[in-house]
Chains A and B, each alone.
Chain A
Amino acid sequence: MITAERKPLDEILELVGDKKKILVAGCDTCVAICLTGGEKEAEILASELRIKAEQEGRAVEVEHTAAIRQCEWEYLDMIAEKIEQADVVLSMACGIGIQSLAEKFAPKLVMPAVNTNMLGMPQEHAVWLERCGACGECVIGETAGICPVVRCSKSLMNGPCGGSHDGKCEVTTPEKEDIDCAWALIWERLKAQGREELMFVNRPPKNWSKSSSGGPRKMVREEAKPV
């Protein structure tokens, strides 16, 4: 699912500025599951903002709420009144939800309280790993179910590169943790599947025009569009 991390408090305070009536709006789908922006977390942030205001001797009214999903306007209807009443809405939804809220209630001031970071998978409780690059042309059928676009630091179609060592990527995370070399993983799994020959196919250059590089994308289901 989509994962996000809460922005540092200073940044949030700067975004809110001197607004008096603040609504912290959580979302109870993806960001709730990754424990960042659900109703619980919205309530926590609201409390923090009130504490901060108290410390600085400022008068603010901070309320919290949550929508089942901020990315769907029907669900935002249910919290519309609270949104209308606020000077600024601090959305804890992912970038999609925040923009959906901002669009529906434009020109209401809507600020992001989180940094949306990835399409991630919970590997174990409370740990998420990036898995999908939303590239628009999935190749994982040929790479043993492992995405070379986003799990390889260089998006190689013909990996691994010369920096792969002990099954690890030459790059480490910002926290200086090892990253598995995606192509080493692909090789191991292809072997387990008895499909080693796929490792030696010369794959052509990727068609990046299907990804966001080609411009913002749109999808339509003609057969489901209302008549």
Chain B
Amino acid sequence: MAVPEAAEAAAPKKFVDPDFEPEIIVFACHYCAYAAADLAGSMRLQYPTNIRMIKLPCTGKLEVIHLLRAIEAGADGVYAAGCMEGECHYLKGNLWARKRVDHVKDLLAELGIEPERVEMFNMSSAMGAKFAEVATEFTELIKQLGPNPVKREGVSPHAAAREALGGVAMPDQAESSVAVTVEEGHAE
């Protein structure tokens, strides 16, 4: 079988199991990204089941440790999905999230883990197609990178990520077009 190369061609060729199914954690904000996911669902747009979502009031609530704990627990890829820049419901939360994602990339680089495994995407609640596109493309990227080097049996990245977030994580919902109850939030 042909050996897929990593996106950054500098890394030496490594063998990646073609049957590898990555586990990807998505931190999605209630106002935009999670709504976009709902929309994708009702539009019956296909996107990989590799992604496991965790809903937050705002990506601004994401701390560096939340992202890092997901990686530590073996997530093959992690991304934050928030509102378009300038349109964050809490004004600047998504800008803070981007800074923190950038910092986690630096930490991964110093650990010798591909910084591409952590990312930030922006979309509005109307962008169902974008949500599906991002999920598909990111999953493909992670497939090419191969499994997280610290992945191990018996540890669930999704559970670890939820635990790290604590009360910040909002309850999971069924993937349907049922209207979301707006949670009382506060500006940054």
Contacts and interface: CB of A to CB of B under 8 A. Distances in A.
A–B contact with Cβ pairs below 8 Å: the answer is yes
B188 to A, nearest CB: 9
B157 to A, nearest CB: 22
Interface residues of B, number: 8
Contacts of A227: 92, 95-96, 99
Interface in A180-227: 222-225, 227
Interface residues on A, range: under 10
B103 interface: yes
A180 B102 CA distance: 47
A225 B98 CA distance: 12
A223 B64 contact: yes
Contacts of A222: 99, 102-103
B100 interface: yes
6 contacts: A222-B99, A223-B100, A223-B102, A223-B103, A224-B99, A227-B96
A223 B102 CA distance: 8
Contacts of A224: 99
A225 B102 CA distance: 13
Contacts of B102: 222-223
Given A223-B100, A223-B102, A227-B96, 10 more contacts: A222-B99, A222-B103, A223-B64, A223-B99, A223-B103, A224-B99, A225-B99, A227-B92, A227-B95, A227-B99
Contacts of B64: 223
Contacts of B96: 227
Contacts of B100: 223
Nearest to B98: A227
A202 B57 CA distance: 57
A169 B95 CA distance: 55
B92 to A, nearest CB: 5
Interface string A47-76: 000000000000000000000000000000
A19 B17 CA distance: 80
Contacts of B99: 222-225, 227
Nearest to B85: A227
A104 to B, nearest CB: 26
Interface in B90-126: 92, 95-96, 99-100, 102-103
Nearest to B100: A223
A224 B96 CA distance: 8
Contacts of B103: 222-223
A222 B96 CA distance: 11
Nearest to A225: B99
A222 B95 CA distance: 13
Closest 8 pairs (CB-CB, A-B): A223-B103, A227-B95, A223-B99, A227-B92, A223-B100, A227-B96, A227-B99, A223-B102
B96 to A, nearest CB: 6
